[in-house]
Amino acid sequence: MFKIIVKDIKPGGIDVHETIAAEEIGLAKEDYMHFTAPLDVAAHIERLKNMVAAQAQITGHYESFCSRCLEPVEGDLNQGYDASFPINPATEFVEVGEDIRQEVILNLPTIVLCKEDCQGICPGCGASLNTEPCRCKKDKSKRPKSSPEKGDTYRPFEKLKDIE
C-alpha cells in the first residue's frame, strides 16, 4: 500500500507524495461516508538511529448524508499525522499504509451535519424542518403521542416508568 524503503532515506530525510484509493482504506461507495477521489498523502520521512519518523498530511474529499435530515453532504478531510516506526539493521522497508488507514478512519466525523443548526426530520409527519414547517400541528392524529401534563413534547418511553 505505502512502503518506505529504509536505504532510500537520505540524511536530511525525503519527501514522499502518494495517493491511496478509498477501497484500500476499507471505505466502499456503499458506506455511509465515502471518498470521491483517492486520498493524497504528503509526507516527510526521516531516519533516526533506530527508527523511521514520518510527518504526513492527509487530504481527501468525502460525501455522506446529514445525520439529522438525510440531505447529501460533502466535506474535506485534512489531517496531520506523526508516527515513528522502530527499525533494526536488517529492516528493508517500513509499511506506513496501515497506520494511515487507521488514522483516516479514526478521524472521520462520527456525526455529519449539513449545517450546525440542522433541525432534522419531524418524527411524526416526516417533514424536513429545515425547509418546511411541521405538519403535525395541523393534523394531531399524525403527531406522536405525548404526555399532556408535561407539555407538548414527544416522549416515546414515558409509559415505561409505570411498568413493574
Environment class of residue 106 by beta-carbon count within 10 Å: exposed (0-12), middle (13-18) or buried (19+)? exposed
**Contact assessment for residue 113 and residue 73, using Cβ atoms and an 8 Å cutoff:** yes
Three-state SS at 99: helix
Along the 164 residues of the chain, how does pLDDT read in single tens digits? Answer: 678 888 888 888 999 998 988 887 777 777 778 888 889 999 999 998 889 999 999 999 999 999 999 999 999 999 999 999 999 988 899 988 888 888 888 888 888 999 999 999 998 888 899 999 988 865 555 545 544 554 556 677 777 778 77
Backbone angles phi, psi at 20, to 5 degrees: -125, 125
For the chain, give every domain's residue range: 3-106, 119-157
User: Does the pTM of the predicted model rise above 0.85?
Assistant: no
**Residue 100 CB-half CA count within 13 A:** 29
CA pair distance 130, 67, nearest whole angstrom: 13
Three-state SS at 51: strand
CA pair distance 142, 124, nearest whole angstrom: 6
Q: List the alpha helices (DSSP H) in the chain.
A: 22-25, 97-106
The Cα angle at residue 102 between residues 92 and 90, in degrees rounded to 5 = 10
Amino acid identity of residue 1, one-letter, is: M
CA pair distance 16, 3, nearest whole angstrom: 10
CA pair distance 79, 33, nearest whole angstrom: 17
